[in-house]
Amino acid sequence: MPFRKFGDTDLIRNTIVTHPKVNFFIFDGDVYYNNKPDQDGKFAKVYSSEVGSINLYEYNIDKLAGSNEFIHPYITKQSAGASFKTVGKITYSNEFVYGDRVTGSYPMTASISREFMTNPSARSTEANTATGETFQGAPTHRHFYALKNRLNFLGQRSQHYLVSSSLGDKNSQTINLISIPSIAYGTQINPGSVSLKWFLTGSLIGELQDTKENGELIQVGPEGSTGSGSVAGVVLYDEGFILLTGSWNLSSEQIGLTNGGSQAKPQWIYYGAGAKDGVTQASAPPGYVSASFDMSFEGHTETQVITMFAHAGRGEVNFSNNPTFITHNETSLSTTSSAIFEENAERTIKNTVSSSFEGYDAPFKRQVYVSRIAVYDENKNLIGVATLSNPVLKEEDQDISFKFKLDI
């Protein structure tokens, strides 16, 4: 088939911006994503991931190893050196020979998680085996250390971000750090959309919102409650972290909120207890199941889209390489030998024009059915195929344009 070049007006490039709404609900050690229940399929869990986790592209739905195998990505080792980011250069060179398959795995899942830090700046104590002298080792809470520079940088947005200021010193404060994977929000969390709600036996005892859109999480409810109008923490919109330091009591009731130990009164530093942090009904003091937490926000995603128009003009695209284009049972070759290969020039094109009368053939018209459109780059390399849901009839005297989009 001949190639056709896209014209100046046949390619449109634009950006689709979306703000998907996201909700996480935490109760009794389980996290629920967008109120999606834990569903059983024919072979396994429908989403092939634990409750509250997001399955990237939702691959391997309702599959069980050994029954219906998981799909997985792979790259064949070639001279170009293409591989996965998770495979190091030394491993790639020493453990794979040319022609070997380098494989990955699906599904890829992620969910929110929580870290409770009573002494964020703590470091482990190490000893010199030769002299016996002790020295400070690695940070106990590495995520806090990794975020310190970013927190100070964002201090120009609000002083509540600063690690150390007149508002407090995060090095010694108890910190509640909630991590949100980027798969849940895209490129950033939309400012002004964050809401954190704390429920005790089903009743709302506290709500935080970033009403100023500057990252400050301000207690907005219930109206007139202890701490109303106070800042309980900050949101790192681009990085996907929520850092809570609010330590005022939201209720006078004592409940279990940590592993072991004693009961405590609800405070924002305990918000989200049970979100992949090891706190369970079995490990927490009595009263743990009376608390539940709701987190909602909007994400921000930008998708680059190319819209393409492929035109089949009048008198064009009227031939097919499909064997059914030629009348059946006709001799395909005229001459063939060790030196000659000649097709039968007298073969006829099958008349596919429908007749309204039985036993009567309608007058012949050259027509084809378009089922796929292939897209090539400037070097004639195939880069994509657009498949139509139903073949489209193209008659010789028609002009037809096809519109298709590619998300980058």
- Antiparallel, parallel or unpaired: β 168-169 and 231-236: unpaired
pLDDT band at 48 (very low <50, low <70, confident <90, very high): low
Indicate whether 161 pLDDT > 90.
yes
Express as a percent the part of the chain with pLDDT over 90.
55
Selected residue with higher pLDDT from 188 and 72: 188
Q: For residue 388, what pLDDT is reported?
A: 93
Asked whether 276 and 113 are in contact (CB, 8 A), the reply is yes
Q: For residue 67, what pLDDT is reported?
A: 65
Q: For residue 218, what pLDDT is reported?
A: 98
pLDDT band at 171 (very low <50, low <70, confident <90, very high): very high
Least confident piece of the model among 35-49, 124-138, 351-365, 391-405: 35-49
DSSP helix/strand/coil, 212 = coil
Q: For residue 292, what pLDDT is reported?
A: 96
pLDDT band at 271 (very low <50, low <70, confident <90, very high): very high
Indicate whether 44 pLDDT > 80.
no
Q: For residue 14, what pLDDT is reported?
A: 95
Cα distances (Å, whole numbers) of residue 318 to 52, 240, 308, 312, 396: 53, 54, 21, 9, 6
Q: Which of 27-36, 82-91, 158-167 has the highest mean pLDDT?
A: 158-167
Q: For residue 41, what pLDDT is reported?
A: 77
pLDDT band at 16 (very low <50, low <70, confident <90, very high): very high
Indicate whether 268 pLDDT > 90.
yes
Neighbours of 44 (CB within 10 A): 16
Q: For residue 47, what pLDDT is reported?
A: 66
Asked whether 309 and 399 are in contact (CB, 8 A), the reply is no
Q: For residue 358, what pLDDT is reported?
A: 80
The rounded distance, in Å, linking the Cα atoms of 248 and 270 is 11
- Give the residue extent of every domain in the chain: 32-110, 114-301, 304-407
Least confident piece of the model among 114-128, 178-192, 228-242, 352-366: 352-366
Q: What is the pTM of this model?
A: 0.78
Indicate whether 106 pLDDT > 90.
no
Indicate whether 299 pLDDT > 70.
yes
Indicate whether 103 pLDDT > 70.
yes
Mean pLDDT calculated for residue range 169-184: 96
Q: Kindly report the average pLDDT of the chain as a whole number.
A: 90
Indicate whether 116 pLDDT > 70.
yes
Cα distances (Å, whole numbers) of residue 101 to 69, 93, 97, 145, 313: 17, 13, 9, 39, 44
Indicate whether 186 pLDDT > 70.
yes
| Residues contacting residue 252 through CB under 8 Å, at least 6 positions apart | 265
Mean pLDDT calculated for residue range 349-376: 84
Indicate whether 354 pLDDT > 90.
no
Mean pLDDT calculated for residue range 213-223: 95
Residue holding tokens 């070759």?
A: 333
| Residues contacting residue 393 through CB under 8 Å, at least 6 positions apart | 367, 368, 369
The rounded distance, in Å, linking the Cα atoms of 65 and 44 is 9
Least confident piece of the model among 43-52, 142-151, 254-263: 43-52
Selected residue with higher pLDDT from 50 and 369: 369
The rounded distance, in Å, linking the Cα atoms of 355 and 47 is 50
Selected residue with higher pLDDT from 399 and 318: 399
152 membership: H or E segment, kind and range: helix 142-153
Indicate whether 330 pLDDT > 90.
no
Mean pLDDT calculated for residue range 240-252: 97
- Whether the bond into 266 is cis, omega within 30 of 0: no
302 membership: H or E segment, kind and range: strand 291-312
